[in-house]
Amino acid sequence: MKAMTKPKKMPKLRLAPRLGLFVLFSCLLAPLSQLGSLRPAAAEESIPSSLLKKSPPWQRSMQELYVTLVDIMTDVTSEKRFNHPSSKARIDRNAKKLATLAHDINEKKMTAPDSDPTLKLVSGLFKDQADQAYSALKAGQRPYARSILSNISSYCIACHTRNGSGPSFKNLPLIPSSTDLTPFEMGAFYAATRQNDQALATYRKLIGDPNSLSRATFEWERSLKSALAITVRVKNDPELTLSLVNQVLGSKNAPYFILQDALQWKKSVENWKSELPHHATSEEGLFAEARKLFAGAHEMQKYPADHSADIDYLRASAVLHELLQKYPLGSHVNEALLLLGASYEVLDPVHLYNLHEIYYQTCVKRAPHTPVAETCYKRYEESVYLGYTGSAGTSIPHSVQEQLKALRELAVSPVQVEPGLK
């Protein structure tokens, strides 16, 4: 495969790591609909023990995490409630439960619901972040703990909108009880728990609100990205996607750059609609389809911050995730990891700034001393340098430099590495 040398995206601040929780609800399965009319006040007593005993370990952990999410989202949306003495015991208890479940999920004996390495790749990061939130609470650093916990739903969404695999629920019995949740936060909760129809309806209502852009531009744009991920990757529905794009084009207050992107999105969807109804099932077929979509998107994108090719990148990434789910030991896994990393550098659908780096690292470790590993390392190194570059220049911590050195030695053949490392 020809190496991709497109310029990198604009620098982003590397704040405290906040990746790793998106695996949180990667397999909410149908038994959740049996939970009945439960109240979100006591997470650890909400799920009938008889139901938990019947569920496989991964499903059981996800069911418990779902209930814990309801409590956490109820508490983190209000600074006053989060810091109120009466909430302290409940919040600490839920954070501890989150950390415990994170350790359970990260156990080697825990079998993930599908073979996409994304799930296990991020479970370790999930464990670290859950530990960090609980440690911050114990140390009295409640604002920092709240900032970690408030991002939970974003990570769930990133996993649940990979493609249309897995269940989709019409209604689940529990929702956050807080009246402080914004429409965006409510949509995020629905998407995080695979209630895709409610999520899409909530996002579209926000997108159609003429006042939402002036009140919360950031939430408006994130709602649009999340809605597109649902219509393109989860629903795989060009008609529904076209309806959403036309809604954006009809918005008088939408930023000019988004309207310009939406014009290209409309062309992409029209091309999608004109395609013959066909979907590959073999590994070769899936990889050919993904590579074709990616190449078209890569050609369409004019500069690093250009999102006019997002529809094709979303479609390509959905096919790549399907390939990894169906053929985890196939001959195109490493190239799929490279293309996923490159796709997520552009998409960044829920502001998981370092998600693409996970794929690049995994690519290098799976295929050391190969051309694809060299390409993955090159893009990873560029991303790290860009992330540590600011107005004062580039300053990379020594520990990160050592990690880069080790990964480079793994990626590049010894003959090529040695001169640069002396």
pLDDT band at 335 (very low <50, low <70, confident <90, very high): very high
Q: Is the pLDDT higher at 245 or at 67?
A: 245
CA distance 162 to 324: 11
| Residue with the larger pLDDT of the pair 114 and 207 | 207
Q: Are 180 and 75 in contact (CB under 8 A)?
A: no
Amino acid 321 reads: H
Q: What is the model's pLDDT at position 108?
A: 63
Q: What is the mean pLDDT of the chain?
A: 80
Residue 293 has pLDDT above 80, yes or no: yes
Q: Which amino acid is at 115?
A: S
d(CA 127, CA 110): 14
pTM: 0.79
Residue 334 in this model has a pLDDT that exceeds 70: yes
pLDDT tens per residue, range 63-98? 787 788 788 878 887 788 888 899 899 999 999 998
pLDDT over threshold 90, residue 260 = yes
pLDDT exceeds cutoff 70 at 385 = yes
* Separation of alpha carbons 414 and 369, rounded Å: 8
Q: Measured on CA atoms in the order 319, 320, 322, 326, is the torsion positive or negative?
A: positive
DSSP for residue 80: H
Q: 271: pLDDT confidence band, cut at 50, 70 and 90?
A: very high
| Mean pLDDT to the nearest integer, 192-202 | 89
Which position has the higher pLDDT, 75 or 55?
Answer: 75
Q: Is the pLDDT of residue 11 over 60?
A: no
- Going by pLDDT thresholds of 50, 70 and 90, the confidence category of residue 217 is confident
Segment 356-360 shows an average pLDDT of 91
The residues, ordered by sequence, that sit 6+ positions from 277 with a Cβ below 8 Å of its Cβ are none
Buried b (16+ CB within 10 A) or exposed e, 384-420: bebbbeeeeeeeeeeeeeeebeebbbbbbeeeebeee
211-237 exposure pattern, b = at least 16 Cβ within 10 A, e = fewer: ebbeebeebbbbbbbbbbbbbbbbbbb
